[in-house]
């Protein structure tokens, strides 16, 4: 009998944990602020941006944890934010705002990465920005690695939350609106403007990953048929901004970093996308890159653009001699 009673006690605890866990999902179904906080917890846990035991080490283990259960005496153990989001995302009624929130969280994460905490004995030596954030010198390579992780998480959450529809909205609406509406700050955050540069790279990596999830890297999937229209609109936006036809409100360093990274990723990772872009747009984009003294990248995108851009590529080669 003691053995049977013990088994029933354990089963009752598991049912209690399950009921508490299920009830906790309700708040996310009707409160967008709660969804934002859950998304923020996903980034914080994955990047290891706080000192909580469940997320201090970061990585996928901190994001997904080890399920849920009464592992701690006297109560239920913390549930990893990734597990909780996997249980609630299908029931979120308004998904349109999720893309904008994820973009803002990526930008916040980049600042936290660039202004990461250092050991206490070095606190006094850190540079303090006007908003009170201490910023220390960190390895650019290490920062880029963590920025890629943040962008990868953001792209995964966008694709998981809304699929093809959210990705198309990202390229058509969210990113253009962000570049137009965001105003540059009065001071450079982070060491030597690293934050502004990393933000542009993070957005580019995030955008390319979202596109790869939705359309694939080639034309083998049926979803890739929608890529030329959506990607064409985004490339038209880039070219028009470089032409000066669109006034941007974002930091100039962020914009330059985004354009260079996005085009470089297209050329190096998804060259088939370039073939689907209008030749005139590619020529205008190449012209803007040359004005930035990025001749190699300008030539590379024309070289991949096909027969219609060969003339412009030849002219660029002749001009460079």
Question: pLDDT value at position 70?
Answer: 43
| Structural domains of the chain, count | 1
The model's pTM is 0.81
Token output for 280:
């005139």
Q: How confident is the model at residue 114 (pLDDT cuts 50, 70, 90)?
A: confident
Mean pLDDT of the chain: 79
Q: What is the pLDDT of residues 10-25, one digit of tens each?
A: 555 555 455 555 656 6
Q: Which of 111-120, 122-131, 140-149, 194-203 has the lowest mean pLDDT?
A: 122-131
Note whether 237 and 246 are within 8 A (CB). Answer: yes
Can you say how many angstroms the Cα of residue 193 is from the centroid of all Cα atoms in its chain?
19
Note whether 313 and 302 are within 8 A (CB). Answer: yes
Residue 133 pLDDT more than 50? no
Does 131 map to a domain?
no
Q: What is the pLDDT of residues 215-251, one digit of tens each?
A: 999 888 888 899 999 999 999 999 999 999 999 999 8
Does 24 map to a domain?
yes
Q: How confident is the model at residue 55 (pLDDT cuts 50, 70, 90)?
A: very low
Domain interval for residue 87? 1-94
Please name the residues in contact with 37: beta carbons below 8 A apart, sequence gap of 6 or more: none
Please name the residues in contact with 196: beta carbons below 8 A apart, sequence gap of 6 or more: 184, 188, 189, 190, 251, 253, 254, 257
Does 89 map to a domain?
yes
Token output for 294:
């990025």
Does 76 map to a domain?
yes
Note whether 65 and 54 are within 8 A (CB). Answer: yes
Does 249 map to a domain?
no
Q: How confident is the model at residue 8 (pLDDT cuts 50, 70, 90)?
A: very low
Alpha-carbon distance of 186 to 247, in angstroms, equals 18
Does 212 map to a domain?
no
Does 215 map to a domain?
no
Does 114 map to a domain?
no
């Amino acid at each position: 009998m003691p053995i049977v009673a013990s088994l029933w006690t354990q089963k009752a605890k598991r049912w209690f944990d399950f009921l508490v866990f299920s009830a906790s999902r309700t708040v996310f179904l009707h409160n967008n602020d709660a969804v934002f906080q859950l998304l923020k917890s996903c980034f914080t846990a994955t990047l290891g941006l706080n000192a909580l035991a469940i997320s201090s080490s970061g990585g996928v283990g901190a994001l997904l944890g080890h399920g849920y259960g009464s592992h701690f005496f006297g109560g239920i153990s913390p549930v990893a934010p990734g597990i909780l989001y996997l249980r609630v995302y299908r029931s979120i009624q308004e998904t349109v705002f999720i893309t904008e929130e994820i973009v803002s969280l990526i930008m916040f994460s980049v600042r936290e990465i660039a202004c990461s905490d250092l050991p206490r004995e070095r606190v006094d030596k850190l540079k303090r920005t006007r908003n009170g954030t201490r910023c220390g010198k960190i390895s650019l390579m290490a920062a880029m690695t963590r920025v890629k992780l943040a962008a990868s998480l953001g792209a995964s959450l966008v694709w998981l939350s809304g699929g093809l529809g959210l990705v198309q909205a990202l390229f058509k609406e969210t990113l253009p609106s962000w570049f137009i509406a965001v105003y540059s700050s009065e001071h450079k955050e982070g060491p030597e403007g690293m934050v502004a540069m990393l933000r542009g790279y993070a957005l580019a990596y995030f955008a390319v990953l979202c596109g790869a999830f939705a359309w694939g890297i080639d034309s083998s999937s049926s979803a890739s048929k929608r890529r030329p229209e959506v990607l064409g609109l985004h490339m038209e936006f880039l070219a028009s901004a470089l032409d000066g036809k669109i006034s941007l409100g974002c930091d100039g360093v962020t914009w330059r970093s985004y354009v260079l990274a996005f085009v470089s990723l297209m050329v190096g990772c998804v060259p088939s996308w370039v073939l689907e872009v209008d030749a005139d747009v590619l020529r205008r984009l190449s012209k803007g890159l040359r004005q930035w003294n990025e001749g190699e990248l300008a030539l590379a995108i024309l070289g991949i653009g096909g027969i219609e851009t060969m003339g412009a590529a030849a002219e660029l080669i002749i001009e460079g001699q």
